Amino acid sequence: MNARLPHPFAAIVGRLLQAAPANAAAIAIRREPPLARLAAEFGEFVGSQQSATALIQALRTGTPIVLGQPRSSASPAFSSPTGPLSYANVRIVLALARSQLAAQGLSTASPERLRWVLIGDAGADGILARRAAGFGWGRIAHALGLKLGAVVRGDVGPPTAPTAAARKPSKPRRA
């Protein structure tokens, strides 16, 4: 009977498979839950990590959103017209809101401003109202004068037009 020689990569693959469970456990320990990560990312914008956590949970579950002090009559609770959102969609909503207010020169949002940006008023639809009407995230960003890719990357603020030096030079026309 012919004895098969082991494949040259068998030893390498075996070692990688033995090391995989240890590496997977190390990765799982370092990874933050999405709620904590989003609360840390948007805590300063909303006012505090506690307020950001409450807002994120309300957007995730579709429960009424209470901004500011719970018993304050200045900012009554309101419901999201979109219903429950995924963590990814919550991140896009908050990033769009932050960018829209940054374009107006605001780095933090008061409860009234945040409600206006999210829901809107009689004169303009907010981010969540547009999403509930069937608009995609790119179209919503475009309507706000923003680029979705820049918003998601965290490049907050108004879009800037390229300077003359940054533009590609045009090719000379042939005669």
Task: Give the integer Cα–Cα distance in Å for 107 and 52.
Answer: 15
In one-letter notation, the amino acid at residue 162 is P
Within 10 angstroms of residue 53's Cβ, the number of other Cβ atoms is 18
pLDDT, tens only, 137-146: 999 999 999 9
Q: Which residues contact 77 (CB under 8 A, 6 or more apart)?
A: 64, 65, 66
Tokens standing for residue 33: 């839950």
Q: Report yes or no: 102 and 157 within 8 Å, Cβ to Cβ.
A: yes
Alpha helices, H only, the chain: 10-30, 34-46, 49-61, 87-103, 111-119, 127-132, 137-143, 148-153
pLDDT, tens only, 71-121: 555 567 788 888 999 999 999 999 999 999 998 888 888 888 888 899 888
pLDDT, tens only, 25-40: 555 555 779 999 999 9
Q: How far is CA 60 from the centre of its chain?
A: 13
Task: Give the integer Cα–Cα distance in Å for 34 and 155.
Answer: 21
